[in-house]
Structure 1
């Protein structure tokens, strides 16, 4: 089933939120890590300059005074350590490096240059800031390289803490945004739902027009629909009034002619009866509601009960049995008069033709009405003639033909289909199918 426009808009909003929030989370997390790394490099530079200021050579041995060094260089497992190499030979290391499994990297750097990079040793990550220099001691010059090493754990700990805090905030923001979107969805679609419910009530006949109060955008649609409904009702009433006037205008002269002595002549009487029948037929056909834009939902079972009660009285000499298979919720979307005309004609014909049994079966989705009897049936070579326009249907076998033209045209006006075949009971079976 295709999604409604309202639901598609909500899903698009949720999809955008699911795309934007993770993207924003990753961008902020990466920006924080970049800033964290920059701060770490700057702190390592400060420590490096502190070490450079304390380097001296005594008796050919490199020594570093501890007067300005950070306490982390003397605390084991602090995650911060320092190394000095001379031609790739380790000549000094801080006390904090004694328990650290780290070997100073062999960088070839020109004097005065420094390098900040990540190094992995023994499945552990380190950030290393190295600087090369030429250290003058008496008459000798020593090419020294100073390495300030920081464990990645000193960066990952605040990074993980920040990420967890950020994740909690983003989850909270996502929940709040989702609630706001659902609230906005409900608030903005509530008028549409009310309009849809009102239209359904108009369709099933429980109200004549739209009466609710709606926003300006929907108010225009409401007024247009009400104008359409009012115009349709006026045209229908005007049409039926004209037909009623026409019926009276035609029936009165015909009634006068029928009272004349000349009307008793067989030829004239037959023609007057034909004229009367044609007038009734065409008026019933023209006054049919047909497939209106707004269709009322008529319960079928109460109408069937009324017809069955009347037919049982009319054909009481037959010991008529009419079986009905219809639920209380089965409905016909159309005019009650039209449904009464269709069911009445077919049931009357079946009651005339049957021996004693008539069956009515109603199926829904789509609506299908099956009426059959246990009478003699209709010859197969007559089936194709039954519904032909202009045929004298009452000249066929008893009980089948009278009113069938009206039934066929009413069914056609609802875009339905009327079919005739043989019933398992032995008689005729009429099947009417209507589209959903």
Structure 2
């Protein structure tokens, strides 16, 4: 157990919940692909049957959170519309149709006669997921956990407590109709439980935080359990000299206003000095009509951007209709700015010059780097993963939107017949290391 004194130890009740999730995850991991898919279908049916109850609970959360002064971006994430809920349910079904991530043989090698080595994918075990505001995240994570044979302890923010409970009640109905998975998912409801979760390294194999920079940093500093996630989503779009201005404006608008509270919305727009005047002349009225507040460096202010940008703006995740603008002399200056201020989430370039595009794609070290398209495509559902448990900006895999493949590990199986290392050490036997068909 961790000895960090800033976090209380888990209660006996929480330890029991974790033990149950661990036991259930073992059974779920040994279930057939068909059985796990059937669980997801039952979960989707239960969510659909209880849709009205879930949406009514969400209205309760919205009204309470508005009275409590929850900020605009978190309110946006908290809201669960009918269309969004239908999309989540469709995502559960899509996850059930994805290829089975368990039992894939990645390596098959004959070390010597009758000594066969395999590397095979297996579930991680139990996920601990702490998320703020977004009740749709509960549905996504639960479906991915079950499909990948993992248990999950799920802790949502207090602002979404009614919605999360209504969703969890529905998921439990789906789980109860199957012979596998019962007890694999548990909803934690108190701050004490979320803090105690950080100590459960005997039972929890991975923690996935989805929320503010402060939340992620706190979790990373207070647990021995591996943590997957990202703190900030400071994303950039660079508009190059060789560009179709109208297309670049469209990309910038979609990247900023399609859903400004998302972590993959751009916070900074970098513009090549050769096209800055014409780009801003055409785009400033459009940004203004879209409700976007612009902050600019001295060069962009001289071209019509009203508000000054200070140093802090370049490293700020607004999660709102606010956009910082900087004019740069070339792609190298744009890349250097991104290296300095980016959170390594998602960056994009708008250009017709393929050489410049390739330089940008190969030089920017973020989990997603795009050419001539919106940063809002950084999403597991849009990537065809069915859903995602979150986005990871770390260098080691999994990286970017994390779907099923990021929720499995692998195990080495070695099958022999009374084989001994001393026979190889003495030279009586020699390794053949022959690769066999997967």
Q: What is the TM-score of this pair, normalised by structure 1?
A: 0.19
More helix by share: 1
Q: Point out which structure has higher relative CO (alpha carbons under 8 A, 6+ apart).
A: 2
> Radius of gyration: which is bigger?
1
Q: What is the TM-score of this pair, normalised by structure 2?
A: 0.19
